[in-house]
């Protein structure tokens, strides 16, 4: 019974403690408990936390009026500024801030020094942010297109990440950064940026990215940049006062005319480490200088740069007509050098040792590639070509390696050799056979086949180009053993015969004085009729021989002796 009473008393004591604590937490808006956020929506909510010095949880601000918390020093969670919304039927939200009559609001925390986690805002009506003493915050993430004033950026020290995605601030100064791992600043308006402090080290290195579509001036005095990567896009002026960088990329800066890094001595590959099983991290991209697509860039000056651990890439800068003189101290590049544009000259003051290859292309027809070979030691792999400008802008495309010529296999070579040998043998055999056939067609005077000799070959060649007598049709096989028809050459002159009275003129083969004879009278002789004849003979009326002037000599034969068709 005693034990039961003791247990009952202990239960009552615990219950009383819980009941006494519950109203305290419920009435203490600065510490509602880890499961609750401090939510500010109305003026009554502001009045309830106006005296809070420390808020033990997250602070969420959802108002359409300006707000000031003069006593707040520390927020142990997040500070979130959201768009002003009202909840209506069934959880449907009406975004009041999208109405055109909404005025810009301001937030002021004059004593706030620490935000343990994230300062986050997506409010389109936030126009002013006053944090004059803020020194510690893990992350700043602002996308507030109408934010014009941010007071207190120069007091921020311990911060890991700065993301300023959208804003309208004309001047930003982060002068006391400590151990920062990432800075991302986007600009749509003219602005000036100053960065100073230390960046986080480690195997992955820090990342600084500045992007603009307007006139932006950037100055960096950041330290501990050995493996830090700088990405700069669209700005008008760049000043980076660092001796060592992990990587530098300057691109699409349409108004950048001069690029100078007077103190830079090395671009290192300190972050090039084995990723191992850490698949969530992207591999670092350090040891590189990339300068490309800067429309008005006229000169590059790196007077102290001695080494680039990986690559030096300068491409598509149309007004950059000379390359090399801006690197007077450069001695080595670990991997590649790639240069392309409208260059007329290429000259490296020192002979640069390149670990892999040099690739140079120019759109100027008069560019002399010998300038490139003179800038590097003998044995360096150098590719220098000329390419044509396209649409007033040069676009570089790394040329594909030449395709290897197809090679014959061993079996194909053997087959080709055998075929060639067979062709030669057949040609020789056919030639000899033809000569034998010709020798039987042209026997010598003794009737034997003529010996194959050079004289016979010349005769065959001569007759091959002369006109041959007609032959029998191929289809008349019955006449193939008959000799070919003979023919006589045309007479070279026409014989004219004059016969006296009583002479008879007859043509050969008709018989003298028979059938074809006729008497030539005086009238006919007086008229001196002349008739051209060929190969005629005159037969006198008596058996006496005809006068010599009335006979025609036999035409000499033009065929060679012993010729047999």
Q: What is the DSSP string of 340-356?
A: EES-SEE--SS--EESS
The answer to the question of residue 552 being in a domain is: no
Same domain, 294 and 337: no
Show the CA angle centred on residue 428, arms to residues 423 and 430, nearest 5°.
Answer: 95
Same domain, 236 and 338: no
Do 386 and 369 lie in one domain? The reply is: yes
Query: Has residue 512 been placed in a domain?
Result: no
Return the pLDDT at 29.
78
Same domain, 198 and 291: yes
CA dist., res. 394 & res. 403, Å (int):
25
Query: Does residue 482 fall inside a structural domain?
Result: no
Among 380, 399, 418, identify where a domain stops: 399
Q: What is the pLDDT of residue 173?
A: 95
Do 352 and 316 share a structural domain? yes
110 and 70 Cβ atoms separated by less than 8 Å: yes
158 token code pair = 């311990």
Q: Do residues 298 and 331 both lie within one domain?
A: no
Number of domains in the chain: 2
Q: Are residues 335 and 240 in the same domain?
A: no
- What torsion, rounded to 10 degrees, do the Cα atoms 457, 463, 469, 472 define? 40
* Whether residues 292 and 318 fall in one domain: no
Nearest to 299 by CA among 240, 258, 352, 353: 258
294, 350: one domain = no
End of a domain among 399, 419, 453? 399
Domain that holds residue 198: 170-272+284-302
Domain annotation covers residue 129: no
- Please report the pLDDT score of residue 36 as a whole number: 86
The span from the CA of 382 to the CA of 380, in Å, is 6
Do residues 192 and 294 both lie within one domain?
Answer: yes
Residue 452 lies in a domain: no
Count the helix, strand and coil residues of the chain and give each as a percent rounded to the nearest 5: 20, 30, 50
Beta bridge partners of 171: 192
In a domain, 187, yes or no: yes
pLDDT tens for the chain, 565 residues: list them. 434 444 444 443 344 333 333 333 445 778 887 778 999 999 999 999 999 999 999 999 998 889 999 999 999 999 999 876 544 433 434 444 344 445 778 999 999 999 999 999 998 889 999 999 999 999 999 999 999 999 999 999 999 999 999 999 999 999 999 999 999 999 989 999 999 999 987 777 899 999 998 889 999 999 999 989 999 999 999 999 999 999 999 999 989 999 999 999 999 987 655 444 444 444 557 899 999 999 999 999 999 999 999 999 999 999 999 999 999 999 999 999 999 999 999 999 999 999 999 999 999 989 999 999 999 999 999 999 887 544 443 333 334 555 566 666 778 888 888 888 888 888 877 877 777 776 666 555 555 555 556 666 666 666 655 555 555 555 555 555 566 565 555 555 555 455 554 445 444 444 444 444 444 444 444 444 444 544 444 455 554 555 555 455 555 555 555 555 5
Q: Distance between CA atoms of 515 and 240, rounded to whole angstroms?
A: 132
The candidate with the shortest Cα–Cα distance to 180, out of 214, 209, 150, is 209
Q: Are 120 and 80 in contact (CB under 8 A)?
A: yes
SS (H, E, C) 363-408: CCCCCCCHHHHCCCCCCCEEEEEECCCECCECCCCCCCCCCCCCCC
Same domain, yes or no, for 318 and 267?
no
Evaluate whether residue 201 is within a structural domain.
yes
End-to-end C-alpha distance for the chain, whole angstroms: 160
The continuous run of DSSP H or E covering 23 comes out as helix 2-26
Give the residue from 383, 399, 415 where a domain finishes.
Answer: 399
Q: Is residue 268 part of a domain?
A: yes
């Amino acid at each position: 019974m005693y034990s039961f009473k003791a247990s009952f008393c202990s239960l009552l004591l615990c219950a009383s403690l819980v009941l006494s604590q519950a109203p305290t937490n419920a009435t203490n808006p600065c510490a509602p408990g880890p499961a609750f956020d401090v939510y500010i929506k109305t003026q009554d909510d502001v009045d309830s936390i106006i005296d809070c010095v420390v808020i033990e949880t997250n602070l969420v601000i959802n108002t359409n009026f300006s707000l000031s918390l003069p006593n707040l020093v520390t927020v142990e969670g997040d500070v979130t500024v959201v768009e002003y919304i009202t909840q209506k039927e069934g959880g449907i939200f009406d975004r009041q801030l999208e109405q055109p009559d909404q005025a810009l609001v301001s937030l002021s925390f004059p004593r706030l020094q620490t935000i343990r986690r994230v300062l986050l805002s997506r409010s389109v009506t936030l126009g002013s942010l006053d944090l004059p003493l803020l020194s510690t915050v893990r992350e700043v993430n602002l996308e507030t297109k109408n934010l014009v004033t941010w007071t207190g950026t120069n007091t921020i020290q311990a911060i890991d990440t700065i993301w300023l995605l959208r804003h309208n601030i004309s001047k930003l100064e982060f002068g006391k950064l400590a151990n920062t791992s990432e800075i991302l600043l986007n600009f749509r308006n003219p602005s000036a940026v100053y960065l100073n402090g230390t960046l986080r080290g480690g195997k992955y290195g820090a990342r600084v990215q500045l992007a603009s579509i307007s006139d932006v001036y950037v100055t960096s005095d950041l330290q501990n940049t050995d493996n830090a990567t700088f990405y700069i896009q669209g700005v008008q002026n760049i000043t980076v006062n660092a001796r060592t960088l992990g990587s530098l990329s300057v691109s699409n800066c349409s108004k950048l005319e001069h690029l100078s890094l007077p103190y830079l001595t090395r671009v290192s590959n300190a972050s090039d480490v084995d990723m191992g099983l850490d698949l969530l991290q992207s591999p670092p991209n350090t040891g590189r200088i990339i300068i490309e697509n800067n429309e008005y860039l006229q000169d590059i000056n790196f007077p102290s740069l001695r080494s680039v651990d990986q690559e030096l890439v300068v491409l598509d800068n149309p007004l950059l007509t000379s390359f090399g003189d801006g690197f007077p101290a450069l001695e080595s590049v670990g991997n590649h050098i790639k240069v392309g544009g409208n260059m007329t000259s290429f000259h490296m003051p020192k002979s640069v040792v390149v670990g892999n290859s040099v690739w140079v292309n120019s759109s100027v027809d008069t560019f002399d590639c010998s300038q490139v070979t003179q800038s590097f030691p003998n044995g360096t792999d150098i590719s220098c070509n000329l390419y044509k400008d396209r649409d007033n802008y040069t676009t570089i495309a790394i040329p594909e390696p030449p395709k290897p010529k197809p090679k014959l296999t061993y079996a194909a070579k053997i087959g080709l050799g055998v075929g060639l040998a067979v062709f030669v043998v057949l040609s020789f055999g056919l030639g000899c056979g033809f000569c034998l056939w010709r020798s039987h067609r042209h026997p010598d005077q003794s009737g034997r086949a003529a010996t194959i000799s050079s004289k016979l070959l010349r005769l065959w060649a001569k007759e091959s180009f002369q006109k041959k007598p007609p032959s029998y049709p191929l289809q008349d096989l019955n006449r193939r053993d008959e000799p070919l028809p003979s023919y006589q050459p045309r007479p070279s002159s026409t014989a004219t015969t004059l016969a006296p009275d009583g002479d008879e003129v007859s043509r050969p083969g008709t018989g003298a004085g028979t059938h074809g004879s006729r008497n030539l009278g005086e009238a006919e002789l007086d008229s001196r009729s002349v008739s051209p004849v060929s190969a005629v003979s005159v037969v006198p009326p008596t058996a006496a021989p005809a006068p010599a002037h009335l006979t025609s000599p036999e035409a000499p034969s033009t065929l060679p002796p012993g010729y047999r068709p």
